[in-house]
Amino acid sequence: MAILTEKFNTIHDTAPFSQIKNEDYLPAFEEAIASTKTEIDAIVNNPESPTFANTIEALAYSGMALDRLSNIFFNLHSAETNDELEKIAQEIAPKLSALGNDITLNFDLFKRVKEVYDEKENLNLTIEQNTLLLKNYKDFVRNGALLNNSEKEELRKVDEQLAILQLKFGENVLAETNAYQLLITDEKNLAGLPEGTIEAAKALAISNEKEGWLFTLDYPSYIPFVTYADNRELRKEITIAAGKKAFQDNQYNNEKIVLDIVKLRYKRAKLLGYATHANFVLEERMAQSPQKVNDFLKDLLLKAKPAATEEFDELSLFAKQTDGIDKLEKWDGAYYAEKLKQEKFNLDDEQLKPYFKLENVLQGAFEVANRLFGLQFHEIKTIDTYHEEVQTFEVKDDNNNLVAVFYADFFPRKGKRNGAWMTSFKPQYTLNEKQERPHVSIVCNFTRPTPSKPSLLTFQEVTTLFHEFGHALHGILANTTYPSLSGTSVYWDFVELPSQIMENWCYEEEALKLFATHYETGAIIPMELVEKIKESASFLEGMSTVRQLSFGLLDMGWHGNDPTSIHDLKEFEITNFADTSLYPDVAENAMSTSFSHIFNGGYSAGYYSYKWAEVLDADAFAYFQEHGIFNKDIANRFKDNVLSKGGTDHPMTLYKKFRGQEPQVDALLKRAGLLK
């Protein structure tokens, strides 16, 4: 069966999606798991003394067929799922968890790794080899290699339970997102909504065989509604619906799942000798400790809170003066913020959207990558995809060498989770002196084209595309030996640097001129609009910063303490939001039950990393600004020391090689308008 081989008989060894049936997955996983176990056994039973090559490198290249299969399956589970795939995921997750434990709790394997580790000073290893050795050794220790047999068995049970609970959490959020629909049949309730939003809602209603205009909790539908709809009651209804995802008395409720996850994570950390889950996680982060993270978040909160309070008061007064609103509620925030922005800057997204046709913005991202890193993106129609809307591109360098295969998937669908992310179907690595190039994908949820308009992006969607494209470049430009150190396989509080720095080009006139052209007239975006974009970039930045910090503090609340005495999720949230809340609480809503980043993604005890990486990206982009935003020397330094290096060295070492110094927080505060 094609899916079981490491090499596919396809162009560039790309995944043969159309050949894979759902029923292929379970037997494929069984075979790939068995094959991985055989590879591990061969390392353990090698009669020769342990060496870097026969143990550490052999381990680095083991299980690659399984990794490839997992990448394909779980990426589809996020972007094109169905009931059958969800059942398979529930069956596969504990098996993969068990295999992981079989490897990391294999004492004979650990003994070989430890023998090499103990000899590391005498092995004359490269920086990358040394990093791989240290990572392997720590992976074993951090996953229970030093536990006794009964503790190892306990760890297996915990990991298996966590694997199932985290999957179930995500499936419940998706089910709740899909379950809600706001159908408007009276045209007057569309007042305030942009023409394109109304048209998209009509198309959605027709596709669902309904009369009227249909709105959902998918972001391209939800965000315009709460931003522009004049009907306050309907804004309230859809806002509350979004806020109570998986917090309702039904089969998709995530309250118990959240409590079970945090308690199991705590139990796991204690088993391994750590004070909390956050202590365990942060040992492998730039931040290193919960204390440092909390100090970082609270220091930023101290600087941002006065500005946020001032902004909230200004917004409240504006709503009162405009419409007699006595108390600003959560369903009023985006609506009056947009109106105030229009009044202050004479700028709104509807003015900007005609200049941000999706195809043009994508080409703009490609052109920025070309000017910085010499990359060329050529669309190719012969690569197999998992959905007809997915676009595929060959990425080549100046010498016409293949650098990567790039997939782009832009529109919401029933089987696709909300949000935007970058992922890969195949990592970059070097084996037997041959470079294997990566297959990288970005997945977003942008407004679809309508019968009369192409997909026109809000400015926030433009920055989202550039953000995910930045992650993609981290994968595309990877140039390492081992797959586990390649591309985005870096500390989580470093992984957002390549993505967040790319957003900066969206605010620069020199970059906008390349792609911001009116979809009807072809006219380049007027420079007065560019100036307004830059002027408004820090609009309500205090409130935005406090909101982000609130998520980071909630995450640390769940994971930086002993959670065993927490019984009421809502009460816990109210306590943790005490220092950051600006709007009145909504009793029917909870954040944690749909906080997928920390309960179904990789960000547990790591949500702070968005702000941490903002410090890095503001400091890094300031370097570009000093020398020119398309300066090739600075771009090469960034490519050679950050993008291509993956996790081969400590992030701060890589950053200082690029920048010549440690990052300074002042660049972020200045950009955010918070430096007085």
- Check if the beta carbon of residue 501 is closer than 8 Å to that of residue 657: no
Q: Residue 393, Cα to own-chain centre: how many angstroms? A: 22
C-alpha span between 438 and 123 (Å, rounded): 30
- CA atoms of 143 and 154, how far apart (whole Å): 12
- Report which of 471, 475, 502, 497 is spatially closest to residue 487, judged by C-alpha positions: 475
Contact between 2 and 14 (Cβ < 8 Å)? no
Cα dihedral across residues 381, 382, 385, 387: positive or negative? positive
- 198, 200, 205, 206 alpha-carbon torsion, rounded to 10°: 120
From residue 603, alpha-carbon distances to 73, 324, 361, 608, 617 in Å are 21, 41, 28, 9, 19
Long-range own/partner contacts, residues 106-114 (CB < 8 A, 24 or more apart): 106/40, 106/44, 107/145, 108/44, 109/40, 109/43, 109/44, 109/59, 109/140, 110/140, 110/145, 112/43, 112/44, 112/46, 112/50, 112/55, 113/50, 113/55, 113/56, 113/59, 113/137, 113/140, 114/140
The DSSP code sequence of 71-127 is: HHHHHHHHHS--HHHHHHHHHHHHHHHHHHHHHHT-HHHHHHHHHHHHTGGGS---H
* Structure-token match 């917090």, residue found: 247
What is the C-alpha to C-alpha distance for residues 266 and 274, in angstroms, rounded to an integer? 9
Taking a C-beta distance cutoff of 8 angstroms, is the pair 496, 655 a contact? Answer: no
- Classify burial at 401, counting beta carbons within 10 Å of its beta carbon; exposed 0-12, middle 13-18, buried 19 or more: exposed
| Distance from C-alpha of 135 to C-alpha of 124, rounded to nearest angstrom | 17
For residue 431, what is the enclosing H or E element? strand 429-431
Exactly one of 39, 468, 503, 573 is catalytic; name it. 468
Q: Which residues contact 339 (CB under 8 A, 6 or more apart)?
A: 318, 322
540: left (phi over 0), alpha (psi -120 to 50) or beta: left
Q: Are 350 and 539 in contact (CB under 8 A)?
A: no
Angle of CA points 291, 294, 295, to nearest 5°: 80
Q: Where are the alpha helices (DSSP H) in 407-540?
A: 459-476, 496-503, 509-515, 527-536
389 is catalytic: no
If one counts every other C-beta atom within 10 angstroms of the C-beta of residue 561, the result is 17
Separation between Cα atoms, residue 674 and residue 455, nearest integer Å: 35
One-letter identity of residue 488: T
Maximum alpha-carbon separation in the chain = 82
506: its two tokens: 């969206």
Q: 245, 226, 98, 127: which is closest to 176 by C-alpha?
A: 245
What letter would DSSP give residue 649? Answer: S
Which among 29, 37, 25, 95 has a CA at the least distance from the CA of 62?
37
Active site residues: 468
